[in-house]
Amino acid sequence: MTAQRMETLEFCRAARARGELALAVTVLDAAIAQMTAEDAATLAKLLLERAELALAAGDVATADDAARRAGPLAQKAEDLTVMAQAAWTVGQVTARQEDAERTRYWLGQAAELALLAEAWPIALRAQRGLANLMQGAGDTAGAVARLKALAADAVVLELPIEAAACHLDLAQLALARDDGPATLHHMQEVLRDPDSLPPLLRGEAGLLRVRLLVAIGDVPAAVAGVAEAVDLLRLSGDQRSLGAGLLIQGQLLLLADRAQEAGRALGEALAVTVRAGLPERAVVEAVIARIRGA
């Protein structure tokens, strides 16, 4: 039974990578419904995959329920890696709920458990989340120092995706400081091997590149770049990032005097943020209201 369920998990991950999120959800829900707590570790892994899919869709309540069900199952199985993954996932839920204190607690738990289990990808993701909390609390210098150290650790551990994620955060922080050379350096590190990156990371890097193109006044290149980024974000299934990409695309199409296409992009951005219950809905509505009032 365990082998069959692990095959189900791999199938769902492959479907997710292809952008077939609805299929992955259907298969996972069916598998979870048929399982009992006897195989605690496998059920916990299925629940955590379900939580990740729910987070991508903006369904925080389902993600919270699945992650919190997974935690005790991982403890029952005495599987430190799954326990770390469960703590990290709860941390993602509390981050979406904008609860910095609980997010810091759960990410700290995830980092400690992952280090004990030598589950380096989870440890790096948790530490990266803690670095971003430092930045949110106003300690930008501390966040930059930690992210640089994490990026170096990821290279040593031969974890290119985690290294690229750290460099993307560093590029965003550098751009916010108007530090052009640092932004370009970290973007080069992110895109060292773009084809090896998952769609979400490539799409978010694409949006940052678009911001750079806008800063130098190259609107045509930015319009082309945002279309590529939106396609990648659509494939990833992450509704928050897709909504942000569509909003940027709509604004750029307006700059390019392509009002009809801009309207479609902004309309889809509104639909995405409404459907997923995202707070970014207010920003999209404000942009649309300004356009209608112009």
Instruction: Convert the pLDDT of each residue in 34-48 to its tens digit.
Output: 887 778 888 999 999
Q: How many angstroms separate the CA atoms of 206 and 226, rounded?
A: 7
pLDDT for 195: 87
At which residue do the structure tokens 């709509």 appear?
Answer: 250
Residue 294: predicted pLDDT: 60
**pTM (two decimals):** 0.89
- Taking the C-alpha atoms of residue 237 and residue 94, their distance in angstroms, rounded to an integer, is 20
Angle between the N-to-C axes of helices 120-136 and 140-156, in degrees from 0 to 180, rounded to the nearest 10:
170
Six token digits for residue 268: 């889809």
| pLDDT on residue 41 | 87
1-116: in CATH 1.25.40.10: yes
Q: Which residues of the chain have pLDDT under 50?
A: 1
CA distance 129 to 85: 13
The per-residue pLDDT for 123 is: 97
The CA dihedral of 11, 17, 23, 28, to the nearest 10 degrees, is: 50
